[in-house]
């Protein structure tokens, strides 16, 4: 595997305790970065921090991303531990289960929007001033092909990810002359613990839509996410990068 140049960079990964975020943390550490894992699951966070520590410098902050004060604290903790935040990867997310739009409960719908869209808004809001001070930054938002296409029985999730794509485009333009680039990726299904919150029928539906006829591997997601997190990504911002095995048509 090649080494992406992240030497000396501090990479914040929300949802880094497991799944795609964990794979991103592994590759970032193997690419010379130091890593701050932000996650709400304190026990899993500590376990992951311990496992990853053999690869490099890793800190962990227990944070509820929908809570402004919690996010502000995580920024302060991370700056105290690492001295800078060069990269922000908004990877935490939830599905909220599956059901038709009229069956899903309003509080479930709101929670999905809160975690998947308001969460990244709050982290960007808290981190961008630091990146402006540094004169450098890379932000990568993990959206979903569902945000482009709209999956049936997942309107809350699809709408949250479509919103995240919109946030990426707006923020990318706002920061275009500041050496802070903001991009999104739109993965198709990857077999992580997030599958535990979805029906088998929905998982089968997602696989049936992927021309490559297999699930995305977290390591494959990490490759693109970390290239977008590096200086090699220089003339793309507010852009959406496909990770759907051929599913997306735009």
The residues of the shown chain that bind ligand NAD, judged by CB under 6 A, are 15, 17-21, 39-41, 63-66, 91-94, 115, 119, 142, 144, 187, 189-190, 192-194
Directed axis angle between helix 155-174 and helix 106-113, to 10°?
Answer: 30
- Closer of 147 and 172 to ligand NAD (Cβ): 147
What residues does 14 pair with on adjacent strands? 38
| Shortest distance in whole angstroms from residue 7 CB to ligand NAD | 26
Closest to ligand NAD by CB, 178 vs 203, is 203
Question: What gap in Å lies between CA 218 and CA 65, rounded to an integer?
Answer: 22
In the set 22, 121, 136, 157, the catalytic residue is: 157
Of the pair 133, 200, the CB lying nearest ligand NAD is at 200
| Closer Cβ to ligand NAD, 132 or 217, answer by number | 217
- When the beta carbons of 162 and 190 are compared against ligand NAD, the nearer one is 190
121 is a catalytic site residue? no
Q: Nearest distance from residue 101's CB to ligand NAD, in Å?
A: 18
Q: Closest separation between CB of residue 190 and ligand NAD, Å?
A: 4
- In this structure, the strands spanning 239-243 and 10-14 are unpaired
Give the HSE-up count for residue 30: Cα atoms under 13 Å, Cβ half-sphere: 13
Q: Which phi and psi angles does 10 have, rounded to 5°? A: -105, 125
CB of 10 to ligand NAD, least distance (A): 19
Euclidean distance between CA atoms 23 and 18, whole angstroms: 8
Q: What are phi and psi of 45, to 5 degrees?
A: -60, -45
Cβ neighbors of 181 (< 8 A, separation 6 or more) are 137, 138, 139, 172, 175, 228, 233, 234, 236, 237
State the minimum distance, in angstroms, from the CB of residue 12 to ligand NAD: 12
3-state secondary structure of 8: coil
Instruction: Show which residues are catalytic.
Output: 157
């Amino acid at each position: 595997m090649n080494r992406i140049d992240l030497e000396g960079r501090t990479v914040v990964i929300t949802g880094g305790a497991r799944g795609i975020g964990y794979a991103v943390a592994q590759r970032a550490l193997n690419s010379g970065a130091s890593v701050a894992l932000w996650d709400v699951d304190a026990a899993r966070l500590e376990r992951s921090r311990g496992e990853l520590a053999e690869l490099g410098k890793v800190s962990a902050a227990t944070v509820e991303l929908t809570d402004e004060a919690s996010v502000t604290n995580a920024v302060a903790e991370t700056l105290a531990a690492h001295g800078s935040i060069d990269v922000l990867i908004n990877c935490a997310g939830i599905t909220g289960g599956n059901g038709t739009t009229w069956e899903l409960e309003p509080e479930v719908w709101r929670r999905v929007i809160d975690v998947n869209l308001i969460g990244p808004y709050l982290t960007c809001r808290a981190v961008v001033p630091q990146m402006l001070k540094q004169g450098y930054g890379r932000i990568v938002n993990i959206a979903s092909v569902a945000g482009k296409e709209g999956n049936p029985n997942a309107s809350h999730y699809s709408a949250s990810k479509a919103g995240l794509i919109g946030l990426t485009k707006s923020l990318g333009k706002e920061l275009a002359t500041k050496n802070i680039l903001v991009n999104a990726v739109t993965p198709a299904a990857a077999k992580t613990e997030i599958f535990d919150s979805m029906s088998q029928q929905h998982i089968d539906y997602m696989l049936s839509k992927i021309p490559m006829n297999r699930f995305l591997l977290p390591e494959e997601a990490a490759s693109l996410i970390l290239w977008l997190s590096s200086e090699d990504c220089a003339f793309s911002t507010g852009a959406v990068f496909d990770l759907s095995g051929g599913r997306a048509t735009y």
